[in-house]
């Protein structure tokens, strides 16, 4: 009996590369993906600029203290907390909270509601969708004419929310706590664009709508916007969004299938992306040897072999129809782009055969036609590769 491979623990994302675009809470997200075996690229596509030293925030706070609002819309937990902590630094948090307690508090989502309650405010209304437009719709259905509505902004001007409330007869007071802007180091995000287009990234996560739009803004500056959309829409790269609002921004940018959890939580986003990528795990019988492909890691009879991204993609494309012949031109177009030189496929096939060792014989050349995977053999007796562990 041939030597048996040493059993190993295969983590669910081993061999996959995940890019994290968040500026805040990035360390937590990176740790969660790393623990699952992924290689993580951190490329923030936005930065949060707090306005605690801006006169505008102080003026609004003084205005709220002078004339108590009828309604307060809390759009984000981070923004509401920042407002209260800034007011605390000014020595105004107690009178500010007293003023807000006389108002109906509307929380856009769970995080905003939690922060409001932490500071002693009772939440009267919260839409299940966690969308600001839906929160405004609930208020409009009740009627807001003649009422003073304070809207804590969520990194961007209130836009249609303020317009709709004003049109319904409300006096809207926006509270600018922070702004989202392009990252301080755009080069990292621009390198991420290059990596996604080149097929070196399996998933990109977004935890806010501006993170999505900023990535495409930076891509357009490189004339890579169309190529970036094509990479996502090819099904090769997962666009993981923290919630429906973020996914809506991805759709607005032209992405056809962003994924997002039913409830906007970071842990649920990580789990969803993990499940999406783990479902791409391929098990192949090549020349009598068991080959398991996860991302760019091929496990040959239980032992890991690292593959360049294009060679891993080549094996994955051939595995879509095991035993069927795929032409050189088709492979070249899919892996290098339309019009690419088919000779590049020959080079990649030869290198892939070498990396797969004895299993490389299962990558057969069909003269004058192309290549196919020979999956007719049966794996020899060996220790089985365990299923991925961890979630």
Task: Write down the pLDDT at residue 4.
Answer: 40
- Domain termination site, one of 235, 260, 278: 278
Q: Rounded distance, CA 311 to CA 289, Å?
A: 18
Q: Do 151 and 88 belong to one domain? A: yes
Specify if 378 maps to a domain: no
Tokens 């499940």 — which residue? 275
Are 21 and 43 a contacting pair, CB within 8 Å?
yes
End-to-end CA distance of the chain: give it in Å, rounded: 35
- Residue 313 resides in a domain: yes
Radius of gyration of the chain (CA): 26
Same domain, 85 and 130: yes
Angle between helices 26-35 and 266-278 (to 10 degrees): 30
- pLDDT recorded at residue 55: 79
Residue 12 lies in a domain: no
Per-residue model confidence (pLDDT) at position 158: 60
The residue from 233, 259, 278 where one domain ends is 278
171 plus 209 within the same structural domain:
no
The C-alpha atoms of residue 63 and residue 14 are separated, in whole angstroms, by 54
Q: What are phi and psi of 241, to 5 degrees?
A: -115, 145
93 and 153 both lie in a single domain: yes
Same domain? 72 vs 171: yes
The number of C-alpha atoms within 13 Å of 357 and in the hemisphere containing its C-beta is 12
DSSP run (H or E) holding 284 = strand 282-286
CATH number (domain holding residue 214) = 3.40.50.10090
Question: Per-residue pLDDT for the chain (391 aa), expressed as one digit of tens each?
Answer: 344 444 456 789 999 999 999 987 799 999 999 999 999 999 999 887 666 446 788 889 999 999 889 999 998 887 888 889 888 888 899 999 999 999 999 998 888 899 999 999 999 999 988 788 889 999 999 999 999 999 988 766 666 788 899 999 999 999 888 767 788 889 999 999 999 999 899 999 999 888 998 999 899 988 999 999 999 998 889 999 998 878 988 998 999 999 999 887 889 999 999 999 999 898 888 888 899 999 999 999 888 999 999 999 999 999 988 889 999 999 998 888 878 888 999 999 999 999 999 999 999 999 989 999 987 544 444 434 444 445 5
- Say how many domains are in the chain: 3
Rounded to whole angstroms, how far apart are CA atoms 48 and 156? 11
* E strand segments, 243-320: 282-286, 289-294, 297-300, 303-306
Which single residue is written with the structure tokens 């891509």? 219
Asked if residue 270 and residue 226 are part of one domain, the reply reads: yes
Do residue 106 and residue 164 come from a single domain? yes
Is residue 54 included in any domain, yes or no? yes
* Residue at token pair 């702004």: 179
Residue finishing a domain among 278, 303, 331: 278
343 and 309 within one domain: yes
Tokens of 329: 């031109």
Give residue 338's domain range.
Answer: 282-373
Residues 209 and 312 occupy one common structural domain? no
Same domain, 187 and 41: yes
What is the rounded distance in angstroms from the CA atom of residue 213 to the CA atom of residue 31? 25
Q: Is residue 225 domain-shared with residue 253, that is, in the same domain?
A: yes
Whether 289 and 244 share a structural domain: no
Give the list of residues 6+ apart from residue 315 with CB closer than 8 angstroms, or none. Answer: 282, 284, 293, 298, 307, 352, 363
């Amino acid at each position: 009996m041939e030597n048996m491979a040493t059993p190993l623990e295969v983590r669910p994302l081993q061999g996959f590369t995940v890019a994290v675009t968040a500026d805040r809470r990035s360390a937590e997200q990176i740790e969660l993906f790393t623990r699952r075996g992924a290689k993580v690229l951190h490329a923030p596509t936005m930065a949060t600029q707090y306005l605690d030293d801006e006169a505008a925030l102080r003026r609004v706070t003084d205005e709220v203290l002078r004339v108590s609002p009828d309604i307060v819309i809390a759009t984000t937990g981070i923004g509401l907390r920042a407002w209260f902590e800034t007011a605390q630094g000014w020595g105004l948090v107690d009178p500010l909270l007293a003023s807000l307690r006389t108002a109906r508090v509307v929380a856009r989502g769970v995080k905003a509601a939690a922060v409001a309650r932490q500071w002693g405010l009772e939440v009267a209304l919260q839409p299940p969708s966690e969308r600001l437009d839906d929160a405004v719709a609930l208020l409009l259905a009740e009627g807001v004419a003649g009422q003073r509505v304070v809207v804590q902004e969520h990194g961007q001007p209130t836009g249609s929310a303020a317009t709709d409330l004003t049109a319904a007869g409300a006096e809207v007071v926006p509270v600018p706590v922070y702004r989202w802007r392009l990252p301080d180091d755009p080069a990292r995000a621009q390198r991420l664009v290059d990596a996604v287009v080149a097929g070196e990234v399996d998933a990109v996560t977004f935890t806010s709508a501006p993170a999505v739009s900023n990535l495409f803004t930076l891509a357009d500056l490189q004339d890579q916007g169309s190529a970036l959309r094509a990479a996502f829409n090819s099904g090769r790269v997962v666009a993981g969004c923290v919630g429906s609002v973020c996914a809506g921004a991805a759709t607005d940018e032209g992405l056809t299938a962003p994924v997002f959890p039913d409830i906007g939580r970071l842990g649920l986003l990580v789990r969803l992306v993990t499940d999406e990528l783990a479902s791409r795990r391929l098990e192949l019988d090549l020349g009598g040897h068991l080959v398991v492909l996860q991302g760019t890691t091929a496990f040959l009879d239980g032992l890991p072999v690292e593959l360049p991204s294009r060679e891993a993609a080549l094996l994955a494309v051939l595995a879509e129809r095991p035993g069927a012949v795929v032409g050189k031109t088709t492979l070249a177009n899919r892996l290098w782009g339309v019009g690419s030189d088919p000779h590049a496929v020959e080079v990649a096939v030869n290198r892939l055969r070498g990396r797969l060792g004895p299993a490389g014989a299962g990558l057969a050349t069909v003269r004058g036609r192309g290549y196919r995977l020979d999956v007719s053999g049966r794996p020899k007796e060996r220790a089985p590769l365990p299923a991925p562990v961890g979630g």
